Structure 1
């Protein structure tokens, strides 16, 4: 029997185990397996002659080793290729290859799966929403409704099919009513089982302003209007300035011809968290804010002047009421009347750090709503809110003694609650500082499970309510962005291979229409911040959404549409259509800067001015609007394209200089000019005032008001905006049938470039190329 040619150069251990007993034989085999270098070794000291090949060649014949021009023949190299591969494989058994540190070697962070950047829309819908039988029909409605509106959502008339589609999304038509009935029955069961109900006491406004609500001792100057003709307005805490659809302040209250487009509200403190109350019907809207005084985040030269923990026990959640009116087209718009402080929830549990409304909406006749607040003492509390209590012009101030439900962290050393998310009306997922997630039941109040997810504190946790209620995404302070199914936490878990460092909360959001998450992403330049989108079914694959100037401070995804708001540290708020961005990689998309906020701190009156006198002065703000849309492209691609252009220009100039060698040495001023103009840095880094940043963003979750948005700034101003676009019905029906719509039988449906399947397959012949995850 002839051996393989690849085995003729191998030698094995000379010891034999044939004459040993079973016990001795197993011991010898185990010892030989522990020393892998002795079990399989290639003998490089001597080379045994090769056996005769199939042509009957003599292995001793020197003609097999003839050299042509100092190189082996091509046939000889092909025959020895297998032996070379065996030699390399043998070396890999003896040592562990080091982890690649070269940034260009990214094969350790690649995605290998069915979804690529160039995947056609029909296949993308199948991969993303494969569990739904009518997925293409539902997604076709989304495309017809939102694809042609690139920047902000359209306004939908009451009672229209588009409004119901925006409200339900992927859920059945009776889902909202079923959840409302379950919420009502659950609340009645809780009242019958509750041992310690919520207790509170009504207090007067003077006591609330003195002890609980942040106080601004002076007014603030605000520059508003067109950028070429801005005027200064003075605004005090609790006051508001209405503005039109064009962002111009409405100075004459009796001018009914100018339609209101929102308000600019002064809350007198820094808003850390904000959210609209989910309510059904054509009723007034409520916006809750967790505010803190300016002194909590002020700069102190002397650390002894900083507020102590005993001085920060008072906290509050402000709930503001905004009235709406119906126009002649059946669209709800902001009313001309000023917003009112409907209710103030005051407590001695520390500052309110985060707050969230229960996502299940109720009708205004139920007169109740639930809001969860994470307080400064590290305890999460669920509070019942009576939304009908502030129907009169004067708001109610309520001092809470005992909440409805109290969720405390485990009694372990240095373990605290960092963030939380609602899964439904009776389940809350709590993320701890040790990297674990705890699922709590509200009635009865007890923990159901605790699962370790990260090795560092969790900064953000978001649930996929309503379609994927118990699928939660967690963003650690340092580590891997992870997705966990709380139904099977030990089995269903995945993560993104690109490590992130997150120190900023409110930068992880969920959109139910797209079934995915938007979050901040690592970037190589500190002057800009990248926002990425990951789908829940293809979680390890990320897609670039947009890049904003400065650092991303907060994000907001629409509950009834796929539009994203991003707030930056430079005071800018950006908006874009994520559905259009995700539907095709060839189509050019845009992003819009809604407004730019800038804060200027007051000058100290003298060198002897202390911190107390500075706190009484609030400074001046300026808000600029009316920006043109910008092309939404990846900055890395722009820099690479610019680098290639510069290199081609240098080569062309080098050829010209070589042809002009007779004129003497050429000047290198042009090359130096190109080197100065070209840079890998997008632009200079600007450090803004801390109160310039955008602290919180929120879309209205109610379908009738889905295009209302709120943006809170560090200066204490909150801008409530009606961002919807009024759509002409005749024109919209013509436009909505073009690039965005597709049918289940259409082969080229949803492909903006108009390619069919064969052309797409022929063009994307490199579909098996791996994609790096940090693109």
Structure 2
């Protein structure tokens, strides 16, 4: 016997959940109450009629989505008796319906009710207070979703015309295939025109603002009152004797020379370099001629090698140098044997969280000469050897970080007076935990000067900790990361205080800040920092508590960060030997920017005139890549090229700094950026292996020249004390 048909209509009232602003404001009207009472009566009558109806009266198609009810409607109606369904009530035609709110309640339909509503609404807004931690300034689209290209560009670069016009300028200039790894001389020589999207050459900043910073932004430096105070603050002692200064402030020279093997892989030549001696390594390629090349020289490779016989701690090219002479600041600490003879040696165990003993240390300034190679660009002049022009001697401990003020500066007559030439402002962090700014000037002639610095241009120290890293925010402001996770920002302008006090001092991380960089000039108020706990954070100086974001935390924190105004991104690396790119508008979603053959040790600060990046590794390789095409089109192939590969081994002579071998001539190649082993083309041995390289093989310091005529010049410092300088513009 067939089972009786049962009605598909759900029984019981439908539960309605709503957040009623009128009810929260305490608004009730008599018409609303009477209507709900009539609705409840009609609802009960309708339910009794439905229960007594025959199953045969059910007609398919009468039930729609609006008539479906929950099975537990009765229980919810008992719990919330006021929330009844009014949409199912057949109201008389003579009864006018009142306007409804989005929550389903009736809006007051009388003048008195409306006035009462407005009064209560104002009272509610006065009493509601939202905490600062719950405020969100902006939102963005999830990049993992499939979005259109316009939405992808806006979420990556922003929706402001200045940002998009800057990206279009970069696309037209640097998205060609020939610039996929290293910059070409042809592209660097392109002159800016009136049709360069207005904000293109200034990286999204108004051209008049850049011009104002370049000119009037430096008026304080040339002011008779303020400038005079600074010049008096920096006290320089008499020039030291050459032999005495070298013995105390520079690493002790070894008797045997450093052995170098260079040239073609099947026919390498042997060279020997002593302390501060230079070598034109183009001699190793004299027999190999370039077949077709647009280089300024007929030789395959040209450049300089200089031996310092001690680890190169940091390097930095001086900005605002438009002449043929380019200046490179370099730091090499003294040897451990020299430190053992110092009076303060062994007073306290070494710790990066405490001030170190006041060992002597020096900042060396080397001069490299160029020659014209294009309409704008210049290449290295291999007929003029590099010259050590200035040695700044200090007794404040080892120099850990240095950074020139990168802001553009118009040349004035006051820069070259009394036979002195102004190079720029050089900031550094010394072993005693203090940050200092030096006003670097060169005297006439070509003889090396040894100058003892007694007091700097500016000096400051954060309370109860030591400084760890720094970045320039403007010609007068410096941001400094500290060992306790705080970030301090000072103005170097003179004040009446005995010691300079930072105008910004807040905890950004929970522990030691490893690196810091500013999003200058596009967003100078945004600062990116990394900490020893693995956190990388982008935050705003205006409100760092609420305006901040972080990507995925790493197990091994990167020690270097750099911001590229051309890419509008911060670039760094991770513990899996990948370079990574973090656009400031989508900082939480990192993008791979290269795959390195070994662990990354150093990065070259981004250049303002081309988007190429340099990564230095523990295995001695330096890898160059231009990630802009992949940043613009996520499905583009990734290209990268190895500048050179360096390997070190101890020499036969115990009193030498060892032997180094260079391999070069690598071609550009595509690289898979898959993070799983299935996409790895390298042979797998069944387990993950990590190679430990000798410290003297590491590439410890990298740098791009920040001046446009010499933007293709790059330098690399090794742990064995070798410095390599070469023009990489192809």
TM > 0.5: yes
* DSSP 3-state at the match of 1:143: helix
Alpha-carbon distance, 1:514 to partner = 1.5
Partner of 2:590: 542
Residues 157 and 80 (structure 1), Cα distance of their counterparts in 2 relative to 1, 3 Å cut: closer
Instruction: Name stretches of at least 5 consecutive residues in structure 1 with no aligned partner.
Output: 8-50, 60-77, 87-110, 524-528, 606-613, 644-676, 726-775
5 Å matches for 1:76-95?
A: none
Residues 407 and 307 (structure 1), Cα distance of their counterparts in 2 relative to 1, 3 Å cut: closer
* DSSP 3-state at the match of 1:292: coil
Question: Does the aligned pair in 1 maintain the 2:376–2:709 contact within 8 Å?
Answer: no
2:680 and 2:663 map into 1 onto residues whose CA distance is 32
Q: Which structure has the higher relative contact order (CA within 8 Å, separation 6+)?
A: 1
Residues 259 and 570 (structure 1), Cα distance of their counterparts in 2 relative to 1, 3 Å cut: closer
* DSSP 3-state at the match of 2:245: helix
Question: Does the aligned pair in 2 maintain the 1:120–1:584 contact within 8 Å?
Answer: no
* DSSP 3-state at the match of 1:361: coil
* DSSP 3-state at the match of 2:401: strand
Q: Aligned match of 2:378 in 309, 317, 332? A: 332
The C-alpha deviation readout for 1:282-302, integer Å capped at 9, x for no partner, is 331111112113538999xxx
Question: Does the aligned pair in 2 maintain the 1:270–1:292 contact within 8 Å?
Answer: yes
5 Å matches for 1:125-524?
A: 125-130=153-158, 132-148=160-176, 149-155=179-185, 156=187, 160-161=191-192, 168-189=202-223, 190-194=226-230, 197-201=233-237, 202-217=239-254, 218-244=256-282, 248=285, 258=299, 261-295=302-336, 313-327=359-373, 331-336=377-382, 337-362=384-409, 366=415, 367-368=421-422, 369-386=424-441, 388-389=442-443, 392-410=445-463, 412=464, 415-444=465-494, 445-502=500-557, 505=559, 507-523=560-576
2:339 and 2:261 map into 1 onto residues whose CA distance is 23
Partner of 1:634: 673
Instruction: Name stretches of at least 5 consecutive residues in structure 2 with no aligned partner.
Output: 1-9, 17-46, 56-67, 77-138, 290-295, 351-355, 416-420, 495-499
Question: Does the aligned pair in 1 maintain the 2:472–2:479 contact within 8 Å?
Answer: yes
* DSSP 3-state at the match of 2:205: coil
Alpha-carbon distance, 1:500 to partner = 4.2
The C-alpha deviation readout for 1:229-278, integer Å capped at 9, x for no partner, is 1011001121111244x9837999xx985487321122332111111111
2:667 and 2:567 map into 1 onto residues whose CA distance is 27
2:581 and 2:456 map into 1 onto residues whose CA distance is 37
Partner of 2:724: 719
Alpha-carbon distance, 1:688 to partner = 1.6
The C-alpha deviation readout for 1:179-233, integer Å capped at 9, x for no partner, is 2323431213432444951011221221221110123313100001111110110
Alpha-carbon distance, 1:360 to partner = 1.6
Residues 620 and 177 (structure 1), Cα distance of their counterparts in 2 relative to 1, 3 Å cut: same
Residues 466 and 630 (structure 1), Cα distance of their counterparts in 2 relative to 1, 3 Å cut: same
* DSSP 3-state at the match of 2:586: coil
Residues 173 and 195 (structure 1), Cα distance of their counterparts in 2 relative to 1, 3 Å cut: closer
Residues 438 and 81 (structure 1), Cα distance of their counterparts in 2 relative to 1, 3 Å cut: farther
Bigger mean CA offset, 179-188 vs 415-424: 179-188
Partner of 2:38: none
* DSSP 3-state at the match of 1:203: coil
TM-score normalised by structure 2 residue count: 0.71
Bigger mean CA offset, 509-518 vs 114-123: 114-123
* DSSP 3-state at the match of 1:270: coil
Residues 242 and 251 (structure 1), Cα distance of their counterparts in 2 relative to 1, 3 Å cut: farther
The C-alpha deviation readout for 1:387-417, integer Å capped at 9, x for no partner, is x42x53212111100001001120x2xx221
The C-alpha deviation readout for 1:91-119, integer Å capped at 9, x for no partner, is xxxxxxxxxxxxxxxxxxxx982434865
2:646 is aligned with 1:593: no
Alpha-carbon distance, 1:629 to partner = 2.2
Partner of 2:99: none
Q: Aligned match of 1:617 in 656, 680, 683? A: 656
TM-score normalised by structure 1 residue count: 0.67
1:624 and 1:312 map into 2 onto residues whose CA distance is 39
Residues 329 and 471 (structure 1), Cα distance of their counterparts in 2 relative to 1, 3 Å cut: closer
Alpha-carbon distance, 1:485 to partner = 0.7
Question: Does the aligned pair in 2 maintain the 1:264–1:718 contact within 8 Å?
Answer: yes
The C-alpha deviation readout for 1:26-48, integer Å capped at 9, x for no partner, is xxxxxxxxxxxxxxxxxxxxxxx
1:277 and 1:457 map into 2 onto residues whose CA distance is 28
1:392 and 1:229 map into 2 onto residues whose CA distance is 41
Question: Does the aligned pair in 1 maintain the 2:554–2:574 contact within 8 Å?
Answer: no
Q: Aligned match of 2:629 in 580, 584, 589? A: 580
* DSSP 3-state at the match of 2:215: helix
Alpha-carbon distance, 1:599 to partner = 0.6
Bigger mean CA offset, 351-360 vs 166-175: 166-175
1:264 and 1:258 map into 2 onto residues whose CA distance is 16
1:678 and 1:257 map into 2 onto residues whose CA distance is 42
Question: Does the aligned pair in 1 maintain the 2:192–2:201 contact within 8 Å?
Answer: no
1:624 and 1:256 map into 2 onto residues whose CA distance is 21
Partner of 2:122: none
Cα-Cα RMSD? 3.8
Question: Does the aligned pair in 2 maintain the 1:242–1:249 contact within 8 Å?
Answer: no
Question: Does the aligned pair in 2 maintain the 1:320–1:340 contact within 8 Å?
Answer: yes
* DSSP 3-state at the match of 1:636: coil
2:381 and 2:394 map into 1 onto residues whose CA distance is 32
1:207 and 1:540 map into 2 onto residues whose CA distance is 53
2:592 and 2:145 map into 1 onto residues whose CA distance is 10
Alpha-carbon distance, 1:478 to partner = 0.7
